[in-house]
Amino acid sequence: MTSIVKIMLLVNSFASMAFSGLSALVIESVEAECDGIVVRARTSGLPVGCPDRGRSTAQVHGCHVRRPAEVPVDARSVVIEVRIRRLACASMVCPRRTFREQVPGLIERYQRRTSRLTAQVRVLVKEAAGRRCGC
């Protein structure tokens, strides 16, 4: 095994360990930028069921990128740049016709933070609200 392959394996194992909360995604790259760490990822590409009809489909209608904030690593902010598919419903009579795939448990609909970061912020807010004034 060449040294470059060994280094790539180490980097991949570090990325999967440091970002284990993102296991629902396929991590394509992790880059340190001046304002933090950017994890570029995509969904698995598996068929997804339509929210209305439930029929699974993998027919891609389009894609877009979401950029939710993730739990900081080593005091550096982390943003996940995840490519999300818009899929065409497999049912000809479905009124929805297309729908965005979701990543439940990781990125909830309309949220700008991952579920893990939201949970951590919620705990911090509760702790801060529960403190008594030191005056």
Considering the complex, what minimum distance in angstroms separates the CB of residue 118 from Zn ion? 29
What's the Cα-to-Cα distance from 106 to each of 66, 89, 103, 119, 129, rounded to whole Å? 12, 23, 6, 11, 26
Which residues of this protein are in contact with Zn ion, per CB under 5 A? 50, 52-53, 89, 91, 94, 96
Considering the complex, what minimum distance in angstroms separates the CB of residue 97 from Zn ion? 7
Question: Where on the phi/psi map is residue 128: left (φ > 0), alpha (ψ -120 to 50), or beta?
Answer: alpha
Select 77 or 98, whichever has its Cβ closest to Zn ion: 98
Select 17 or 46, whichever has its Cβ closest to Zn ion: 46
Select 17 or 92, whichever has its Cβ closest to Zn ion: 92
Select 27 or 50, whichever has its Cβ closest to Zn ion: 50
Considering the complex, what minimum distance in angstroms separates the CB of residue 117 from Zn ion? 31
Q: How many CB atoms lie within 10 A of CB 11?
A: 12
Q: And the tokens for 110?
A: 């309309």
Considering the complex, what minimum distance in angstroms separates the CB of residue 15 from Zn ion? 35
Select 28 or 52, whichever has its Cβ closest to Zn ion: 52
69-73/60-66 β-pairing: unpaired
**Residue carrying the six token digits 């919620």:** 122
Considering the complex, what minimum distance in angstroms separates the CB of residue 66 from Zn ion? 21
Q: Which residues contact 19 (CB under 8 A, 6 or more apart)?
A: 27, 30, 39, 70
